[in-house]
């Protein structure tokens, strides 16, 4: 019998065409813009060998039970897998395909953009122009001044900090080198081994004075910009909290382009209001997309909030969709998947 695959979102035609093959029985949610209805998914996944999901679809016991023992592949069109119960998949011998690499540059781009926007008051100043208020704010010597991200005549050193130091963090690092950054600090999973050789190589490659793994407190104290680029999940819940924010430089900016759960929104809003740090740029918010106009971060003029568009370039999304499709097809046909997450039980 042909393996059944369920696609939880309509993708561009050129991607859907990949499923046009006689050896698959394909069931696809018809809309690209409207999220797949949960009940539709639970009903249609029965007896499926593989499923292609978005980061908005929870992959949990409910879904796996609805699929039954035939399920052997989950393919997510995302690099993140906070929505996937990875342990459960490992226990049930279900493989997970995901889409790293292809989105690294797009997310690094937007991370730098948010750092600049947060530092240079882009939110409040564009509002002024859009409201027709520019005439009331003629050019003034120190009007709208924010901290400078690049090295300058006052600051000959700049330190970038990363919470999580994977592919996207290192692509962001690379983009900051021409800004004159001199130091890089990062915090990463305490259970992973320190890698001073790799760190020295990265420092050497980019002409940085140091690349060093540090504790969160030192990261907060020393960084001029902090990028949150960790996977998320319960272990890292609110890793950026009051204690972290209190230690940041008053001129520093925080950027979160990873997962909303990593940052305590209430604490960040308070920190911005009270000037513990200069500004923040977030592409993800805990509880998204239920983030209303009265959300503390949306109300905070020093916070730029984007609706999770870090990877949203046409090129990157096509690459992610194509990778997700190829992962699914290879997985259900029992061929090596182009990009499989290596899971440890
Ligand atoms: C986006 O957030 C992703 O995980 O791909
Ligand atoms: C700014 O517009 C300048 O001319 O310095």
pLDDT digits (tens, 9 = 90+) for 80-90: 999 999 999 99
Active-site pick, 212, 213, 259, 295: 259
Q: What is the pLDDT of residues 223-233, one digit of tens each?
A: 999 999 999 99
Q: Considering only CA atoms, which residue is closest to atom 1 of ligand 1?
A: 78
Q: Give percent of the chain with pLDDT exceeding 70.
A: 99
Q: Render pLDDT for 261-276 as a digit per residue (tens, 0 to 9).
A: 999 999 999 999 999 9
- Summarize the chain as % helix, strand, coil (round to 5): 35, 15, 45
Residue nearest to atom 5 of ligand 1 (CA): 78
Q: Dump pLDDT digits (tens) for 100-153.
A: 999 999 999 999 999 999 999 999 999 999 999 999 999 999 999 999 999 999
- DSSP lists the bridge partners of residue 97 as 75, 340
Calpha distance 86→341 (Å, rounded): 9
User: DSSP characters for 129-195?
Assistant: HHTT-GGGS---TTTT----SS--SS-S--EEEEES-SHHHHHHHHHHGGGT--EEEEE--TTSPP-
Distances from the Cα of 154 to the Cαs of 150, 160, 241, in angstroms?
Answer: 11, 17, 30
Q: Counting ligands in written order, which one lies closest to the CA of residue 140?
A: 2
Helix, strand, or coil (residue 286): coil
pTM: 0.96
Q: Is 82 an active-site residue?
A: no
Give 296 Cα–ligand 1 centroid separation in angstroms. Answer: 23
Whether 212 is catalytic: no
What is the set of domains in the chain, with CATH numbers?
Answer: 4-100+314-332 (3.40.50.720), 104-305 (3.40.50.720)
Write down the mean pLDDT value for the chain. Answer: 97
Pocket of ligand 1 (CB under 6 A): 55, 78-80, 103, 310-311
How does DSSP assign 94-113, residue by residue? -EEE---STTHHHHHHHHHH
| Helix (H) / strand (E) containing 267 | helix 265-273
Collapse the DSSP code of 334 into the 3-class scheme (helix H, G, I; strand E, B; otherwise coil) and give the result: coil
Q: Is the pLDDT of residue 343 over 90?
A: no
pLDDT at 345 over 70: no
What dihedral angle (degrees, nearest 10) is formed by the CA atoms of 205, 207, 210, 216? -80
Percent of the residues in the chain that have a pLDDT greater than 90, as a whole number: 97
pLDDT class for 48, splitting at 50, 70, 90?
very high
CA angle 230/107/216 to nearest 5° reads: 30
User: Any idea what the Cα angle at residue 255 is, between residues 250 and 261, rounded to 5°?
Assistant: 115
Q: How many helices (H) and strands (E) does the chain have?
A: 13, 12
Note the pLDDT tens digit of each residue in 178-219: 999 999 999 998 888 889 999 999 999 999 999 999 999 999
Write down the pLDDT at residue 236: 96
Cβ neighbors of 247 (< 8 A, separation 6 or more) are: 217, 220, 221
pLDDT for 96 equals: 98
The rounded Å distance from CA 143 to ligand 2 centre is 12
Position 344 scores a pLDDT of 67
């Amino acid at each position: 019998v042909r393996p059944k695959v369920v696609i939880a979102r309509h993708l561009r035609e050129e991607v859907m065409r990949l499923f046009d093959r006689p050896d698959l029985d394909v069931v696809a949610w018809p809309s690209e813009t409207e999220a797949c209805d949960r009940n539709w998914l639970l009903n249609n996944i029965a007896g499926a060998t593989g499923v292609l999901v978005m980061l908005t679809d929870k992959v949990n016991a409910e879904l796996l039970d609805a699929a039954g023992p035939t399920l052997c592949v989950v393919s997510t069109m995302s690099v993140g897998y906070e929505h996937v119960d990875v342990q459960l998949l490992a226990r049930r011998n279900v493989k997970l395909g995901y889409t790293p690499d292809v989105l690294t540059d797009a997310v690094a781009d937007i991370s730098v953009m948010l750092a600049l926007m947060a530092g240079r008051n882009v939110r409040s100043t564009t509002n002024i122009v859009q409201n027709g208020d520019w005439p009331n704010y003629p050019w003034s010597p120190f009007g709208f001044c924010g901290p400078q991200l690049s090295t300058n005549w006052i600051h000959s050193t700049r330190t970038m900090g990363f919470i999580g130091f994977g592919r996207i963090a290192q692509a962001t690092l690379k983009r900051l080198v021409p800004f004159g950054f001199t130091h890089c600090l990062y915090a990463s999973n305490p259970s992973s081994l320190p890698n001073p050789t790799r760190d020295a190589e990265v420092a050497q490659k980019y002409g940085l004075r140091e690349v060093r793994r540090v504790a969160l407190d030192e990261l907060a104290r020393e960084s001029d910009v902090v990028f949150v680029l960790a996977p998320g999940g319960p272990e890292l819940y609110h890793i950026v909290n009051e204690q972290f924010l209190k230690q940041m430089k008053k001129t520093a900016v925080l950027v979160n382009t990873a997962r909303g759960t990593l940052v305590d929104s209430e604490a960040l809003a308070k920190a911005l209001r009270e000037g513990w740090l200069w500004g923040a740029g977030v592409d993800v918010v805990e509880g998204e997309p239920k983030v209303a106009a009265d959300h503390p971060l949306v109300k905070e003029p020093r916070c730029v909030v984007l609706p999770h568009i870090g990877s949203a370039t046409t090129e990157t999304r096509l690459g992610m969709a194509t990778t997700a499709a190829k992962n699914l097809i290879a997985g259900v046909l029992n061929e090596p998947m182009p990009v499989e997450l290596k899971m440890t039980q």
